[in-house]
Amino acid sequence: MIWTGTPKARRASRFLETRWLLTLVLAGALVWSLSGVDWGGGIVHTGGGNAIKEFFLALFPPELSPGFLKLALAASWQTVVHAVAGMTLAVAVGLPLGVAASGSLGNPGRSRLALAVAIRFVLAFMRSIHELVWAVLFVTAFGLSSLAVVLAIAIPYAGILGRIYSELLNDVPQGPLDGLRSSGASPARVLLYGRMPMVLTDLLSYSFYRFECAIRAAAIMSFVGIRGLGYEIQLSLNDLLFSEVWTLLLFLVGLVLLVDYWSTRVRRSLGS
C-alpha cells in the first residue's frame, strides 16, 4: 500500500528528507553554542597577543642545533613506531570485524543480521572512547610503556576502520557480485574475488589517512608521559623555548607529508 497523505503532510515529509533540515540543525547548534560564550568577559588573556607574537616570531629561525635535531629525529622515530604498531593492530582487528559487520559472509538470514548488528555495536563502543582516554587507562594498567600507546591507538582506530570498511564493502555494485553468485561462487569467494578488488583502492586510501591521524595521535598521547614528539613539545613549551617547539612541529608536519606522498604513490601504482 502506498501512502499518499495530505499535501501538507507530503510537503512536511519532503522537508524532513532535504538538506534544509540539516542546515537548520547546524545553524541552531551554532547559535546555541555562541550564546553560551561569555562575550562580556575577556576572551583573550592579558598579554595574550604578545605571547602569540613571540611564539610565531620564534619560527624565524627554529632551533637547528645538531644536538636538538638529533633529539627531534629520535622523538619522531618513536612516534612513527607507535603509530605503525597501533595501525597494524588496528587493521588486523578492524578488517575482519568490518567484513563481519558488512554481512558479506554467510547465508542471508536472521543469524547473519544479528551478527552484523552485534559487531557494529562493538565497533561503536571501540571508537566512542577517545584514544587519549584509552592512553590514560592503559598507562594506569601497564605504566609508561609503548604498549599503552599502541593499544590506545589500536582500539579506537580498529572501531573506526571496521565501520568504514563495512560501509565500503556494502556500497560495491551488485552486478558483478550477482554474476559470481550465479556461477556458484560461495560468499567467501564473492568477497575475495568480487568485493575486495573493487574496494581495495578505497580501503588503502582511507587506511593511509588514518595512518596520518595515528601519527598525530601518537604525538598527542606522548603528553601522558611517554617519550615521543608530544613529550618533547611539552617540555619545550614548559620552558618557553618556542624555537624548539617549532622544530618539533616541523618534524611532525614532515612525517604527515611523507605518509601523504607514500599514499599517493601506492594508489597510483594500483591504478596503473
- Give the model's pLDDT for residue 92: 95
Question: What amino acid is encoded at 148 in this protein?
Answer: A
Q: How confident is the model at residue 162 (pLDDT cuts 50, 70, 90)?
A: very high
Q: How confident is the model at residue 2 (pLDDT cuts 50, 70, 90)?
A: very low
Of the two residues 21 and 210, the one the predictor is more confident about is 210
Q: How confident is the model at residue 36 (pLDDT cuts 50, 70, 90)?
A: confident
User: Average pLDDT of 31-54?
Assistant: 72
Q: Residues of the chain with pLDDT > 90: what percent? A: 27
Highest averaged pLDDT of the listed ranges 33-37, 160-164, 181-185: 160-164
pLDDT tens-place string over residues 70-110: 999 999 999 999 999 999 999 999 999 998 888 877 666 67
Question: What amino acid is encoded at 62 in this protein?
Answer: P
Quote helix, strand, coil % in the chain, to nearest 5: 80, 0, 20
DSSP state of 191: I
Closest CA to 85 of 153, 10, 183: 153
1 has pLDDT over 50: no
Q: Is 116 exposed, middle or buried, given 0-12, 13-18 or 19+ CB atoms closer than 10 A?
A: buried
- Give the model's pLDDT for residue 72: 92
- Give the model's pLDDT for residue 41: 61
Residue 229 CA to residue 222 CA, distance in Å, equals 7
- Give the model's pLDDT for residue 125: 93
- pTM for this predicted structure: 0.79
User: Average pLDDT of 186-215?
Assistant: 86
- Give the model's pLDDT for residue 116: 85
17 has pLDDT over 60: no
Highest averaged pLDDT of the listed ranges 26-40, 120-134, 221-235: 120-134
- Give the model's pLDDT for residue 18: 63
Lowest average pLDDT, out of 34-43, 87-96, 204-213, goes to: 34-43
- Domains of the chain listed by start with CATH number: 64-271 (1.10.3720.10)
- Give the model's pLDDT for residue 10: 54
CA distance between the termini of the chain:
50
Of the two residues 140 and 181, the one the predictor is more confident about is 140
- Give the model's pLDDT for residue 190: 80
Lowest average pLDDT, out of 54-58, 203-207, 251-255, goes to: 54-58
Q: Please give the grid coordinates belonging to residue 124.
A: 561503536
Q: Please give the grid coordinates belonging to residue 69.
A: 635535531
- Give the model's pLDDT for residue 161: 95
Residue 167 CA to residue 173 CA, distance in Å, equals 13
